[in-house]
């Protein structure tokens, strides 16, 4: 991938920057994190603005309603929206960043025609039903069953840590369709309508008091067989396609945000007095930590380029996705810890208690708490290390204890 800007890419950046400068000042204030209906309205309204302006699905193929942009243009889009602090993908996360791309690769023509345009226009919000209470990141241990009954599957079981389930229209759901098959076989990927009879959503509260996660209880839910993505009992392979997008490209905006947070930490350190009469920024160890984290973020950005390039060429960046997910989430936790060090006592409060420099930085405190989940979400760090050890390095498989 050649990242030297072409005339087309320069023009794309200029048009996008001008559009953002015109549109962003007209947006209403963002709703509270715990007001999920308001967040859905806000996020989908922003998605509609992107669609109307021709910026929805920048990396999606044009035949599926996307912009069909080059990898470099996609990166430009992400850089410019993050630089301008435009709304992030929010409630549209699952639909836009991995359910939609999975349908592009694995869905039927009818499924693509039904869902892709509505995802791009912000008319459909998706959630993910992969994790289960007794399985966690050991996805192959899932127990939610689906029994074929005529033209439907009858689904029974429980899912947990389901983001935005309260306001979602559809769920990308993994179910076990052959209980007698080996762990990684007999699994099927289904599109679950969230308004189907038998679907119950139980909100969960996070450590910061928000409720974007929920538990799903599925009691005899009938899902049409036409909602199956990929062959029956081939859901493990389809799920790996989904994970490759989730782990490989779905955290791009967060990497850019990491740069912003590091700049803010540095600014806070420069403004915070220390006991020696100077500022925290005089501490060479702190400056070294900041520099090391910046270098890691730059390395992650280079990996993103590779993953985006592979994805745009029709490849599934499985190993690169795991490397990225592992390194990014651990890097983000170290950034959060550094923010806590600089903020001092203010890092103990979630209500925007002013830091040593007098500025309220409650969002950094909230971010620090949120990062506790980063190495668990989308597959734990232990799972990522197993994938790399077994698939990339060819090491023996981890012993299974029963």
Rounded to an integer, what distance in angstroms lies between the CA atom of residue 68 and that of residue 61?
4
Dihedral sign (CA 310, 161, 124, 29): negative
Q: What is the DSSP letter of 352?
A: -
What distance, in Å, lies between the first and last C-alpha atoms of the chain?
A: 46
Residue from 124, 246, 296, 366 carrying the catalytic annotation: 246
- Residue 297, token pair as written in the block: 């973020």
Q: What phi, psi does 5 have (nearest 5°)?
A: -65, 135
Nearest to 227 by CA among 200, 199, 192, 185: 192
For residue 22, indicate whether it is catalytic: no
Q: What phi, psi does 159 have (nearest 5°)?
A: -125, 155
Residues 385 and 326: beta-carbon distance below 8 Å: yes
Residues 384 and 332: beta-carbon distance below 8 Å: no
Residues 6+ apart with CB under 8 A from 303: 320, 323, 324, 327
Q: Distances in Å between the alpha carbon of 102 and those of 152, 271, 379?
A: 22, 46, 17
Helical (H) or strand (E) element with 49? helix 36-53
Q: Distances in Å between the alpha carbon of 11 and those of 16, 18, 58, 198?
A: 8, 11, 15, 51
> Using a CB cutoff of 8 Å and minimum separation of 24, what contacts does 350-356 make?
350/208, 350/209, 355/268, 355/272, 356/268, 356/272, 356/273, 356/280
Cβ-count burial 261-296 (b if 16+ within 10 Å, e if not): bbebbbebbebbeeeeeebbbebeebeebbeebbeb
Rounded to an integer, what distance in angstroms lies between the CA atom of residue 314 and that of residue 201?
35
Dihedral sign (CA 92, 93, 95, 96): positive
Q: Which residues are identified as catalytic?
A: 246
């Amino acid at each position: 991938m050649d990242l030297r800007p072409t005339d087309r890419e320069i023009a794309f950046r200029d048009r996008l920057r001008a559009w953002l400068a015109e549109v962003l000042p007209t947006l209403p204030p963002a709703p509270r994190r715990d007001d999920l209906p308001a967040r859905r309205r806000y996020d989908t309204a922003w998605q509609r603005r992107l669609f109307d302006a021709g910026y929805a699905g920048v990396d999606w193929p044009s035949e599926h309603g996307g912009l069909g942009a080059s990898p470099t243009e996609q990166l430009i889009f992400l850089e410019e929206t993050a630089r301008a602090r435009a709304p992030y993908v929010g409630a549209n996360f699952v639909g836009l960043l991995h359910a939609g791309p999975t349908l592009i690769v694995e869905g039927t023509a009818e499924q693509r025609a039904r869902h892709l345009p509505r995802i791009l226009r912000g008319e459909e919000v998706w959630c993910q039903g992969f994790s289960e209470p007794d399985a966690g990141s050991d996805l192959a241990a899932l127990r939610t069953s689906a029994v074929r009954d005529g033209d439907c599957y009858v689904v029974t079981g429980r899912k947990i840590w389901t983001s935005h389930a309260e306001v979602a229209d559809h769920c990308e759901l993994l179910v076990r369709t052959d209980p007698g098959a080996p762990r990684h076989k007999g699994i099927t990927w289904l599109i679950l309508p969230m308004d189907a009879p038998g679907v119950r959503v139980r909100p969960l509260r996070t450590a910061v008091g928000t409720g974007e996660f929920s538990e799903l209880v599925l009691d005899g839910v009938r899902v049409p067989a036409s909602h199956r993505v990929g062959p029956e009992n081939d859901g493990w392979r389809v799920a790996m396609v989904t994970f490759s997008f989730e782990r490989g490209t779905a955290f791009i905006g967060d990497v850019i945000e990491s740069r912003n947070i590091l700049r803010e930490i540095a600014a806070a350190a420069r403004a915070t007095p220390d006991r020696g009469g100077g500022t925290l920024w005089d501490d060479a160890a702190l400056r070294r930590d900041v520099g090391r984290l910046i270098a890691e973020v730059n390395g992650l950005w280079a990996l993103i380029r590779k993953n985006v390039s592979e994805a745009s060429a029709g490849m599934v960046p499985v190993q690169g996705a795991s490397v990225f997910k592992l390194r990014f989430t651990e890097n983000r936790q170290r950034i959060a810890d550094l923010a806590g060090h600089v903020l001092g006592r203010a890092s103990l409060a979630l209500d925007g208690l002013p830091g040593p420099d007098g500025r309220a930085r409650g969002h950094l405190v909230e971010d620090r708490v949120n990062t506790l989940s980063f190495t668990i979400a989308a597959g734990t760090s232990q799972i990522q290390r197993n994938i790399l050890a077994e698939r990339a390095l060819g090491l023996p498989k981890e012993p299974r204890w029963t």
